[in-house]
């Protein structure tokens, strides 16, 4: 089997690699634009292009890799074949190219290219979920639909159909990624921690979850992007974010984060989940005039969403390729870079005098994290799965 065919053989390979490469390319270009006279060929303002591509470019690739890998495991359905994975990756890439060159393309064509990926992904996982249609899994189709609606809101303004929906769409898209983490991270973080603890022989003091708390945390996390798209009053969205963030942090307190020190593959999940909660709390406070909303959003996006997607992509790539679930040193360093990048970007918006140096620092740290991730896991994405006796149990 050629390396290229192998790359398209499993969803995590091509999409997690694409997410890592695009994380480097998009932020690298953004840093160049900030520091040089470069003019980007996008029709949208550069700041909007930057926000859009982090959510609907990088974020969508991470989701694609996750769902194409996880859903067959949940349902026992056949995994997507090479042809579909290759076609889906091409559609995702076409969207990135169209948005990047939107200044030279018809707006409707840009919108069609960029909006195509999520329906294709959703249709595929729907055919897999129908085999075992559990409500807790089928709900992800609704979440993908909300993410698509957020992107549609952006393109409606970019094509001139509406006059004020792009900003709502960008924020709603980010909040939807945070909601995905509230649901998925709320499952895997305590589960992976519990598994690690039981492997050491522990039978008491394991992570605990409480249904009422989980319900509040998940409901508010999902309500936030919906309320944002619906243009509800800022006080309403702020209250939802505040309650949702506090609920995420409360959940984490019962998941035994102290056990994870010394295990980057675990503490990266806990730290990122905490930053999702903190980012939502700061977003809620900013809605009531307490703090800078841009600072809050960047902490949520970089430290929370960026950190969790990196943690999940690296762990899944190791596990599904037969490698031990131990983060390589470069990846462990990458786990540290993203929270620091989030804090630096928060400082950039909080203290005007620090804006440019702190923004550049955040960009360099983000770029370094994903360079380390791609370099360390390059053999994983392109190489064969390890034999069972050499890989993870």
State the Cα angle at 376 between 370 and 68, rounded to 5°. 70
Q: Helices 135-158 and 211-229: crossing angle, nearest 10°?
A: 20
Cβ atoms within 10 Å, residue 39: 9
Please give the Cα distance from 373 to 393 (Å, whole number). Answer: 23
Q: What is the pLDDT of residue 28?
A: 96
Q: Which residue has the higher pLDDT, 387 or 31?
A: 31
> Can you tell me which residue has the tokens 């409360």?
250
Q: What is the pLDDT of residue 390?
A: 44
| Mean of all residue pLDDT scores within the chain | 95
Burial (CB count within 10 angstroms: exposed 0-12, middle 13-18, buried 19+), residue 233? exposed
User: Rounded mean pLDDT of 93-122?
Assistant: 98
Contact 301, 54 (CB under 8 A): yes
Contact 370, 2 (CB under 8 A): no
User: Rounded mean pLDDT of 45-63?
Assistant: 97
Q: Is the pLDDT of residue 389 over 70?
A: no
Please give the Cα distance from 68 to 10 (Å, whole number). Answer: 8
Cα 305 off chain centre by: 5
Q: Is the pLDDT of residue 364 over 90?
A: yes
Q: What is the pLDDT of residue 133?
A: 87
User: Rounded mean pLDDT of 294-308?
Assistant: 98
Contact 217, 186 (CB under 8 A): yes
- pLDDT digit string, tens, across residues 164-188: 999 999 999 999 999 999 999 999 9
Q: Is the pLDDT of residue 391 over 70?
A: no
Ordered structural domains, the chain, with CATH: 3-382 (1.20.210)
- pLDDT digit string, tens, across residues 323-342: 999 999 999 999 999 999 99
Per DSSP, 327 falls in state -
Contact 158, 107 (CB under 8 A): yes
- pLDDT digit string, tens, across residues 124-147: 999 999 888 888 999 999 999 999
Q: What is the pLDDT of residue 137?
A: 93
Kindly indicate the confidence band of residue 241, based on its pLDDT and cuts at 50, 70 and 90. Answer: very high
- pLDDT digit string, tens, across residues 66-75: 999 999 999 9
Please give the Cα distance from 352 to 358 (Å, whole number). Answer: 10
Q: What is the pLDDT of residue 56?
A: 98
- Model's pTM, two decimal places? 0.96
Q: What is the pLDDT of residue 388?
A: 55
Kindly indicate the confidence band of residue 112, based on its pLDDT and cuts at 50, 70 and 90. Answer: very high
User: Rounded mean pLDDT of 251-273?
Assistant: 96
Q: What is the pLDDT of residue 1?
A: 63
């Amino acid at each position: 089997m050629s390396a290229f065919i192998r790359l398209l053989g499993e969803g995590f390979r091509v999409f997690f690699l694409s997410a890592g490469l695009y994380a480097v390319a998009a932020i690298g270009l953004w840093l160049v634009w900030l520091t040089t006279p470069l003019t980007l060929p996008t029709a949208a303002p550069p700041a909007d292009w930057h926000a859009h591509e982090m959510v609907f470019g990088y974020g969508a690739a991470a989701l694609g890799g996750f769902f194409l890998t996880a859903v067959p495991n949940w349902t026992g359905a056949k995994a997507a074949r090479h042809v579909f994975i290759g076609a889906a990756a091409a559609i995702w890439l076409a969207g990135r190219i169209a948005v990047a060159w939107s200044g030279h393309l018809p707006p409707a064509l840009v919108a069609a290219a960029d909006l195509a990926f999520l329906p294709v992904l959703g249709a595929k996982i729907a055919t897999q979920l129908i085999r075992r249609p559990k409500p807790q899994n089928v709900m992800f189709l609704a979440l993908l639909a909300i993410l698509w609606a957020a992107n549609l809101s952006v393109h409606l303004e970019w094509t001139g159909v509406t006059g004020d929906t792009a900003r709502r769409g960008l924020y709603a898209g980010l909040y939807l990624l945070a909601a995905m983490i509230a649901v998925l991270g709320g499952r895997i973080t305590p589960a992976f921690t519990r598994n690690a603890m039981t492997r050491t022989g522990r039978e008491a003091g394991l992570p605990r979850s409480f249904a009422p708390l989980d319900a509040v945390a998940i409901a508010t996390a999902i309500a936030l992007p919906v309320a944002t798209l619906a243009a509800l009053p800022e006080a309403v969205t702020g209250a939802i974010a505040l309650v949702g963030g506090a609920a995420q942090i409360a959940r984490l307190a019962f998941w035994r984060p102290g056990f994870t020190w010394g295990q980057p593959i675990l503490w990266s999940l806990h730290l990122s989940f905490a930053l999702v909660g903190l980012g939502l709390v700061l977003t809620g406070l900013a809605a009531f005039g307490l703090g800078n909303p841009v600072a809050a959003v960047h902490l949520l996006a970089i430290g929370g969403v960026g950190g969790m997607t990196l943690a999940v992509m690296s762990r899944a790539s190791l596990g599904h390729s037969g490698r031990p679930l131990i983060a390589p040193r470069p990846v462990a360093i990458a786990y540290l870079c993203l929270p620091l990048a989030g804090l630096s970007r928060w400082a950039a918006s909080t203290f005007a005098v620090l804006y440019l140096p702190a923004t550049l620092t955040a960009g360099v740290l983000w770029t370094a994290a994903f360079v380390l991730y791609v370099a360390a896991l390059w053999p994983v994405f392109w190489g064969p799965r390890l034999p069972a006796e050499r890989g993870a149990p």
